[in-house]
Amino acid sequence: MAFLAPLFLIGLGALAVPVIIHMIQRERKEVVEFPSLMFVRKIPFHSFRRQRIRHWFLLLLRCLAFILLIAAFARPFFQAPSVAAVTSGAREVVILLDRSYSMAYADRWDRARAAAADVVDGLGADDRATLIFFDSGAQVGPRSMSDRGSLRALVDAAELGAGTTRYGPALKLAEGIFEDSSLPRLEAVLISDFQQSGFESASGIRFPEGTVVTPIAVGDEARANVSVAGVLFQREYFSGRERVAVSARVTNRGGEPVAGLDVTLELDGRELEALVTDLPANGASTVDFAAVTLDDASMTGAVRIEGDTLPTDDVFHFVITPGQVVHVLLVGHERADAEAGLYLERSLGIGSSPSFDVATTTIGNFDASDLAGRQVVILNDTPPPSGAALAALQGFVEGGGGLLVVSGERSAWTSDAGLLPGTIGSPLDRAGRGGAIGFVDYSHPVFELFGAPRSGDVTTARFFRYRPLDPAESSVVLARYDDGNPVLAERRVGSGTVLLWASTLDSFWNDLALKPVYLPFVHRVVQHLAGYVPPTPWYYAGQVLDLAGQPGLAAVTTDAAELVGVSPSGQRVPVTEGERAGFLALDEQGLYEIHDATAPGDSLLTLAVNVDLQESDLTTVDPEELASAVTGRAGGEREAADAPARTFSPEDLERRQGIWWYLLVVAFCLLVGETVVSNRLSRRALEVD
């Protein structure tokens, strides 16, 4: 027997305490006073008597309780193999099978499953095994199984995934299984093509001492692979209809050029156009398809290339959502120069994601009919509309529309019907070099784009004239000049938003229109006022999507709705949590559909899911390097029968045996018995006296 904390044995010196207590115990004597002896001189009387232990059993109980308590704190354990191991020679085997989509290359997956089956067939009668399938995540089957038939069935039913290679999650699960095992021999069999991209995920994982890692590589040196890397959309608004042109990026990761590669564009399951392209060695090419006119509903699409040895990345799915056009009404002044609105019109005409449909009018001709179909109104250096036009504008904003008021020379607002974020003052001149923007709220959607380094600086513009603004209590100042006056303020009116720019948006009062940030700034302002949220044309396998707030779902997430996701393989996944949409794990490649199970019909939302092209890089890592990373030594491709027996550390042995717990229980029982015995002896002594 050994002790994990032998210094606690110093406490055995406390055994002297009960011995001393027993040695100094004296008999109690009752003193009787005699009055007749009160005048007799007191003479000291000394009596000497050898002390002896009278209650040996009580002393032994107390000493033994002290010994057990001290031994429990010293954490004893047995080092004999018969105690440390449960079954001599038995193995705890963990089979880690890579199911990432790179395993679809040539015949890798078939070879991997055959290797896993061979490991299962080689298990001994006392061995136990666990199967772990992994890609970007890990899925573990029943732990420590001894039924080889059930293990073979799991291997035969395994399917390839759409995720990338990440060794970390699977190795972490195996580490936990080994730590909980009581078998003397531990072995991990890692079957993979050993993608280098997943190596870093294995850092920080260390198997118990004595674990044997057997890597089985099913890859080869061939790395040629052609894939569709992604697509780009170029939108335009023509003759009242939205058109989109799709461009596909195709990459070649092989050392040989590829000539005459067929690239096909599909929309709603129909082949629309087929082109041919050439790819240089280790290079890429862009394929531009002709523009198509969008319908009123979303369209699903895919770009495909000829199948090669890794077919998974030969297709790229996407969803084209129509209506990516913000309809803007630009209102100017009758007496303004022709160039007054030129910068705004030109900047909005350049937009593509989204496009901007700009209609123009003057403040004198503005009426309620001009607001039909518009999302944003820009009053560019004009006084407020009057009468019915002002009431219509107020109703437009309260109903969810956006209003931008550009306060220049002619924007003298005497009555705003509660629209403006504050009160506009008379123009203020800044002599010399002019003023600058001194404060910007980069957390706001309008300025969020410029918060990153080298993304544009709105504070470089010089302002030579502007209108001071006294902001209302309900408004928020988004930017200020260097003298503290607001330059951009926001106010919510009903469901809509009003922004006030306290200068011009041309080159008359400032030089912002001449800066590179002008175009993205104007786009962000109009997008924010329109409540524009860019759609997500595709996602990647392995993502978990929060469906709350997704377009098309907010109106149906009621008590009666029951949202169900349908995966590309046809599996149904409930995604409603209470009264709101829940989360959907995107584990497969292809098109997901969201349906309301209580209202059969067309899908409410379609999601395109693609594989992460990081996995398309077939560069490998040395299997022995990965084995040494988790064991601290080089792995070996040897049979498990030749592996050394497992060596348990003292901490591991003590933790598994837990002797200290039993010692505490016995010590407690002894202390209870000591209390009972001492009470009886005390009562008996009183009865004798």
Q: Is the pLDDT of residue 222 over 50?
A: yes
Specify the 3-state DSSP secondary structure of 353.
coil
312 in helix, strand or coil? Answer: helix
| pLDDT tens digits for range 559-614 | 556 788 899 999 988 786 655 557 888 999 999 998 887 777 778 889 999 999 99
Q: What is the pLDDT of residue 642?
A: 46
Q: Average pLDDT of 150-176? A: 93
Q: Which tens digit of pLDDT belongs to each residue from 337-370?
A: 777 888 999 999 887 778 888 999 999 899 999 9
- Over residues 48-56, the mean pLDDT reads 59
Query: Which range, of 8-22, 227-241, 634-648, averages the lowest pLDDT?
Result: 634-648
Q: What is the mean pLDDT of the chain?
A: 84
> CA angle at residue 333 from 329 to 337, to 5 degrees?
110
Residue pair 126/59 in contact by the 8 Å Cβ criterion: no
Token readout for 260 is 């005459």
Q: Is the dihedral of CA 585, 591, 594, 599 positive or negative?
A: negative
pLDDT at 30: 55
| pLDDT at residue 301, rounded to an integer | 95
Percent of the chain with pLDDT strictly greater than 90: 48
pLDDT confidence tier of residue 295, bands split at 50, 70 and 90: confident
Instruction: For residue 300, name the pLDDT band (cuts at 50, 70, 90).
Output: very high
CA 318 to the chain's CA centroid = 23
Q: First CA to last CA across the chain, in angstroms?
A: 49
Phi, psi of 546, rounded to the nearest 5 degrees: -85, 115
Residue labelled with tokens 């969810």: 400
CA 592 to chain centroid, in Å, comes to 21
Query: Which domains, ranges and CATH numbers included, belong to the chain?
Result: 2-83+659-688 (no CATH), 86-222+619-647 (3.40.50.410), 226-312 (2.60.40.10), 325-530 (3.40.50.880), 539-613 (2.60.40)
Cα–Cα distance measured from residue 630 to residue 212, given in angstroms and rounded to the nearest whole number:
10
pLDDT for 640 beyond 80: no
Nearest Cα neighbor of 609 from 313, 201, 258 is 313
pLDDT band at 115 (very low <50, low <70, confident <90, very high): very high
Three state DSSP letters for 177-220: HHHHCCCCEEEEEEEECCEHHHHHHHCCCCCCCCCEEEEEECCC
More reliable by pLDDT, 562 or 402: 402
Nearest 5°: CA angle at 258, between 254 and 260?
Answer: 160
User: Looking at residue 308, what is its pLDDT?
Assistant: 86
- Angle at which helices 518-530 and 342-350 pack, to 10 degrees? 80
pLDDT value at 639 more than 50: no
- How much is the average pLDDT of 296-320? 92
Instruction: Find, among 14, 111, 30, the residue nearest to 65 by Cα.
Output: 14
**What separation in angstroms does the CA of 661 have from each of 11, 76, 77?**
18, 10, 12
pLDDT of 541 reads 93
Dist CA 319 CA 268 (whole Å): 9
* C-alpha–C-alpha distance, residues 23 and 17, integer Å: 10
CA 620 – CA 302 distance, rounded (Å): 30
Q: Which of 42-51, 527-536, 544-553 has the lowest mean pLDDT?
A: 42-51
DSSP structure string for 579-594: TEE-EEE--SSEEEEE
Q: Which of the two residues, 465 and 237, has the higher pLDDT score?
A: 465
Region 637-659: what's the mean pLDDT? Answer: 57
- Kindly state the average pLDDT of the residues 301-310: 92
How far apart are alpha carbons 655 and 660 in whole angstroms? 10
Is residue 559 within 8 Å of 580, Cβ to Cβ? no
Give the 3-state DSSP-derived string for 411-479, with helices as H, strands as E and coil as C: CCCCCCCCCCCEEECCCEECCCCCECEEEECCCCCCCHHHHCCCCCCHHHCCECEECCEEECCCEEEEE
pLDDT score of 555 more than 60:
no
Q: Is 82 a residue whose pLDDT tops 50?
A: no
Q: With 60 as the cut, is the pLDDT of residue 626 above it?
A: yes
Residue 373 and residue 352 in contact, taking contact as beta carbons nearer than 8 Å: no
- In angstroms, the CA 637 to CA 212 distance is 9
Q: Residue 539 — very low, low, confident or very high, per pLDDT cuts 50/70/90?
A: very high
Q: Is the pLDDT of residue 47 over 60?
A: no
Residue pair 218/194 in contact (Cβ under 8 Å)? The answer is: no
| pLDDT of 159 over the 70 cut | yes
Q: Which residue, among 255, 194, 226, 223, has the nearest Cα to 313 in the 3D structure? A: 226
Inform me whether the pLDDT recorded for 156 exceeds 50.
yes
Could you read off the pLDDT of 367-391 as tens digits, one per residue? 999 999 999 999 999 998 888 999 9
**Residue 644 burial by Cβ neighbours in a 10 Å radius (0-12, 13-18, 19+):** exposed
Average pLDDT of the residues in 287-313: 91
Element counts in the chain: helices (H) and strands (E): 12, 36
Tell me which of 47-56, 89-98, 164-173, 484-493 is least confident.
Answer: 47-56
